[in-house]
Structure 1
């Protein structure tokens, strides 16, 4: 209760009246005027009544004590065991807090930063953001429900902005163990078929079982080796880059009993294969207009080492000219097709016919070269339909189409077949989207029987024009016309001969981007980009397996014929597995050394220093058997000066809020009137004597 004035007149007026009254009273008392003291008291009573003294009584309510509860929902908390522990402990904690109506809890779920490539568990940032509107004196403490892997613990408690206990309730079990594998060092690029080396390391977090670990190594999904690694030590692995483009090297260790998670038991390293020099053997049966088109295309590519032979004087041509007078060299058949055939990445027969230059045994060598992984391109002309066709040699075992012996000689527009519109070799060729195609005509092609493999281009009357096929481990392409040079010369506007020939060559050499059936995935920041190529029907949805183990269906949308894509921003980091039908691929999203992903075992050590400084408590919510128990809450008035090893102390606030003020005027009502009447009555009585 307090005392105050609520004057009826302004204070300057009251002050003036008081001064005048004081002067008059002093003069009257000095002159000894009878009744001066009574008049002075009456004037004082009147001035006091005009000043209106009042008694004030404030009506206040006690404010609640704010207790933020920070719940860690980061990726390291997403194992099934920890999710259940967190939910059960949170339910028990809510029940305890509900017993204290003067405590106002604020529950804050903290997930990983989906906008960061290096996410971390930042509980103290979340704490500061959620109590920014609360005076420090009202914060009674903070409770953190986490696995203990917190990456923004302040070095000093002053950074918290309040002076109250910090408590940590840690999920997970005591003495947890986790095994993980990381690629420590590895090249991003490598020359195809040259040896490269990566350094990997197996880590045992927590009590290690000891011994060694078997590491299974896969290249592009195929198992290639098993390594014996000692945890904590670098393990080198040497390999040869199998092909151009992206090559995914996968390392995995088996999950051990009792391990926290198997999400970090795999690691990938992507190496882009670069073909240093493509060795191409081009054999032309005779000089012709299209020969230069092939030669110019291959010579214009700096990455191609071209060996070109043209048969100018076949054995049956006997004109009597002495050999020493010819400016020709003998065709080195044995050197090319026996001794060094494996050195070539691609062999091209351009309008070649069997004229006794190559023994039949050499054709068999070429067929074996293809079946063992080589590449063969047949650019056929009229010779292929004749009796000396190479289709009549042992090479026929790898050819996808046999000639009927007839030539189709009439003008036609080369067109893409239904498969060709989807096939990466011909999909999207310039001019193919119109009817007729926006390119020049050809005028002859070789008629063949029903081919094997994929017919991706059609000639006159929908006869096969370009056929692709696999033979053993190798590949074969047959272009059943020698008219491609018309496009190169710009006849009727020309055509995309360079793109077509280059794609055929790269498909033959197993370029991953030109595979008919392929599933690829790449990470763009935190966005997963999935691409599915197929020459079949709609492949359906893809299935994504997250690092945490959960799976999700990802719809694929057709963007071009035979090309389906999908994008999704991921809320986890780590190694993702994408499947579609029989195809699968792996991709790592986020930084491989992100704090959230590296350490998965729970710990009380990280929060203990800040809890000790603030007189808080850090304890596990589950025992070795998984039984959940939450320490009781102890409200404390005033400063928390000692810590408690069994209870979570909460400093209760003394702050209040003013709801209203009750006033009692002292000169109001009968009391004020009585005092004034008494004063003036006494003055009248004194005057009457």
Structure 2
């Protein structure tokens, strides 16, 4: 043992000392006079025994910690780390440095170490590997993660130093400087930089709006960088699905200057589209993957058309029109059916073709006679055309309908028992599906969403529909009123043919926006309800109970590919004990990857596919529950050739200096590396192991306390002391 130390780990130390002093005084007073009286030879030992017992009790309360440092002889280990990433191929004098690295990992430099020292050799890029052949194919570099791995692997060994040969480019994982401060030993950095000015034209970055519109130009802001060239005129081409969409000549200055260019692209079809932006490869250009970039953009229809129909102009139509018309994605037409309407040109379309031009039709408290007369056209609009209907029901909706209404797009089967009520105000109550459905999810957090709905101005009227479509998905119900032992549904939707139908059977909705604004609040909630409803109805995407997707649609080479999956039951609750297996198939290759996804929480799964070669990939997943295949799910993603290594070639040159300083080491170049023997000459052959023991929990301390108290009690009893 080389060092023994004693410390207290409790805030009770000072109070404990004060208590001992006070008790010492009390013990003296207690045994100063006894009844019956005894000599000092009896009183003093009894006082000492009592005081000692209390001393050990207070001693334990102060939580004493005994620390012992033991110095052990242990052969020192020096770790050699060689950078095997792509960026090494672009350093100055690459061939010379490649030869140095080959000698470095083959053990030729172990002669520089002190005698009886051990050496371990590794290659690294994004992770740590045992030394082997250098191929410089690592698509990203994580110096910080690698240093952390060495610290963890050698925490129980005499780590005398880490010798890392790298260009200092770190583009992934932990901060290398922060990791170096806790490396567990000095770091001796061999700087293989700088990057040479090779001939290269690269696309640095592309900025764009998150969505575009079909047949409408949108801008790509392209940042380019040229090195080793002077004033080139190059064409940039933007293509999608094999078709060129834009072509523009760019004047590139070269010499490392970054320039920004705007290129207009006009997509022709809606959907999620992948675009390729490409520059031609130049003679003698070493890095060619960075001449091309890919991006994914959601393309929407240029302008969606909405038709607002009602018996007359009212506040509901006015507020709806204001919100929907404020969106740049919509054009709104009105159709007012009352004969006394002052908008005679705003009539409901008279033929099917005119009706089919609309993406969404909103029927606001329309009379049953009007709905009946247009029922066949509405059926065809939804079933055949894939249109969307939004029924906002009211008192006028009740009435006579044709016999075939039960088989139509109408969201309810008309019955005599249907009733209209405006007897008291109430707040809508969301169902479990409604808490997460895009229509009724006003904020992301489910609990906050429920509280927000409860804080809105109340509904004042509603319809009790005794028979809605059997496939309806109920999102909100009446908080109290029931029919046939079930809560009355007030917001629900159903699929009909190719289209969707949404129904609100409570109102007035417009007062949510009006009253909030009247109380000095904004009309966020009202706008969100309308926007959510319109967007959900007019998009082909829907909430899926079982989903599988990659974290991104396009990855750079060297980025880790992640998958996520959600499995919900018919009530949109997480489905426990389900299993998700995925086959990852590279297009054009036979080598598939089979992955069992990890359940992070009930119904939530993830998988890390690591680094994948560039190319297109297809996901083929199976969701199994209780030995039953619930669903086959699919997806796709792309890994482009452009890598993180190429994106970060020209970082500040002093990284290796900072790493060595942070770890108490030194920076070298390959020219002066042999001088490292002087710095390693004093490698310690001993390491210290520390042990801590908390005395308060020791059984022997408890035995001593009990023994002292027992002895005092026995003596006092024998002497008949009170």
Bin of the TM-score, shorter chain as denominator length: 0.3 to 0.5
TM-score, normalised to structure 2's length?
A: 0.45
* Bigger radius of gyration: 1
TM-score calculated relative to the size of structure 1: 0.47
